[in-house]
Amino acid sequence: MRRLFTQFYLLLIAAFLVVVILIGGIYQRVVQNAGDRYLVDLMTSALSQISTELKDVPPEKWQQALAANDRNLSFRLRIESLSHFDLSPNDRRELRRGNIVMLEKDYLFLQSMPDARYVLVAGPLRYLMFLDELQWLDYLLMVLIGLVLSLVVLVRLYPLWKDLSALERASRLFSANRLDIQVELRKRSSIRPLGEAFNHMLQRIQQLLHSKKALTDAVAHELRTPLSRVRYRLAMLQGHDDPTILHTCSAIERDLSEVEAMIDEMLIHARLNSPQTPLQKEWLSVANWMEERLLKARVLTPGLRWHWLRMGETPEQLQADNRLLARAVDNLLANASRYARQQIMISVVMLDGHYRLAVEDDGEGIAEADRERVFDPFVRLDDSRDRKTGGHGLGLAIVAGVATAHGGQARVETSALGGARFVIEWPAQPRADAP
């Protein structure tokens, strides 16, 4: 609100000052200059007449003659020495020419006398003093107008600010996967069409997500049904004596397992991409949990060396959704086992209020240009990095989804082993029963 008010108010004040300066310039040139010329002409006529009347009067009797000749003037007349005034060379020339000179700062008019050492002085003029006081009144009026404008701007912008704040809150909730929100604005709001468009967009996104989930569930269900039939018929062939048939059955079994694994990953990925993914968080023993993950990985890839790096920052427990985090870590370990040459290292630390789980390998690593899109679904990098048959392109996307569901992020860096270092980082929550 403060920023919006300041920007709009400064723009309005700038426009107001431009108008005031233009009008003031016109007034200065036309009205005030015309008034000054009229005043100078009037004073020139009066002072010239008085100076002419004093022409035949001796200088020592000038003051008496001025006092005797009372003209009921609103200003004082006197004769003073020219040396009393600090005049510019131009003013002195004007006096020698017989012209009148106006001293604006002192509100005085000077007229030369027959004796050039003296001048006839008129003033100070109350009119000039009044004009000078009006300048301060003009400044005060400009300040008052500025305050009134600020009040007008505030009254006008406050409802708009409330509507924009409501739209901003809805946008923040939307970015946090809250799609069950609606923006409610006043009927006379100037941004009501924007709010209605925002609500329509949310409804469309909800429909698309529901359609996507329904399609994914339907596809998974329709795929599992024929897979079950194939497995049933495959089981009927397991007792056959023909080695060729048995080998074919074994290959079919592996293919079926791969298809089922792909279906499971599609369902998990769809769940993680749905808004408000429910988490079943629990406290996990880091030592036991990591040993379980590494034991499974060692069985699948016995030719690699697996290291669990325990450090001083390694917590005894961490809080997470056990099933989702286990799936993410298993995916990272499987990914590392495909690209590692000899060894893989895993570590868990808690730094700055965040859990940080890292899996590193000594493979070729990932180019910096590919580190963002490597977490996109169905993305495969250069085939030269894949020495063996990989997954289905959803493993790392699931890792990123699990990290996001926990309020964190996943990233890839360069490992000290020379390969890739995948990191999952999410906020750590203190235990309620902690001492």
Residue 388 has pLDDT above 60, yes or no: no
* Lowest model confidence (mean pLDDT) among 125-129, 144-148, 199-203, 246-250: 125-129
| DSSP one-letter code for 372 | T
Query: Residue 260: CB partners within 8 Å, gap ≥ 6?
Result: 224, 227
At residue 392, the pLDDT reads: 62
For the segment 320-327, the average pLDDT, to the nearest whole number, is 92
- Per the model's pLDDT, the better-predicted residue between 239 and 183 turns out to be 183
Residue 107 has pLDDT above 50, yes or no: yes
Residue 402 has pLDDT above 60, yes or no: yes
Residue 359 has pLDDT above 50, yes or no: yes
At residue 179, the pLDDT reads: 72
**What CA–CA distance (Å, rounded) separates 160 from 165?**
8
**What CA–CA distance (Å, rounded) separates 331 from 297?**
10
For the segment 377-397, the average pLDDT, to the nearest whole number, is 64
Other Cβ atoms closer than 10 A to 321: 19
Residue 166 has pLDDT above 70, yes or no: yes
Strands across the sheet with 77-81, in order?
Answer: 77-81, 118-122, 108-112, 101-103
pTM of the model: 0.54
At residue 5, the pLDDT reads: 62
Residue 238 has pLDDT above 80, yes or no: no
For the segment 90-109, the average pLDDT, to the nearest whole number, is 82
Q: What is the set of domains in the chain, with CATH numbers? A: 2-129 (no CATH), 192-272 (1.10.287.130), 281-427 (3.30.565.10)
Looking at every residue in the chain, the average pLDDT score rounds to 80
At residue 74, the pLDDT reads: 67
**What CA–CA distance (Å, rounded) separates 205 from 36?**
73
At residue 347, the pLDDT reads: 93
At residue 271, the pLDDT reads: 74
Residue 162 has pLDDT above 90, yes or no: no
Band of residue 384 on the pLDDT scale cut at 50, 70, 90? very low
At residue 109, the pLDDT reads: 83
* Lowest model confidence (mean pLDDT) among 8-12, 143-147, 250-254: 8-12
Q: How far apart are the first and last CA of the chain?
A: 43
For the segment 298-302, the average pLDDT, to the nearest whole number, is 84
Band of residue 110 on the pLDDT scale cut at 50, 70, 90? confident
Band of residue 387 on the pLDDT scale cut at 50, 70, 90? very low
Alpha-carbon distances of 147 from 16, 160, 239, rounded to whole Å: 12, 20, 96
The answer to whether the CB of 125 falls within 8 A of the CB of 109 is yes
Which two structure tokens, joined as six digits, stand for 141? Answer: 């009026």
The answer to whether the CB of 370 falls within 8 A of the CB of 385 is no
At residue 352, the pLDDT reads: 87
Band of residue 4 on the pLDDT scale cut at 50, 70, 90? low
| DSSP bridge partners of 254 | none
* Lowest model confidence (mean pLDDT) among 106-110, 231-235, 415-419: 231-235
DSSP code string of 101-170: EEETTTTEEEEE-SSTTEEEEE---HHHHHHHHHHHHHHHHHHHHHHHHHHHHHHHHHHHHHHHHHHHHH
Query: Residue 48: CB partners within 8 Å, gap ≥ 6?
Result: 98, 100, 111
Residue 413 has pLDDT above 90, yes or no: yes
Band of residue 69 on the pLDDT scale cut at 50, 70, 90? low
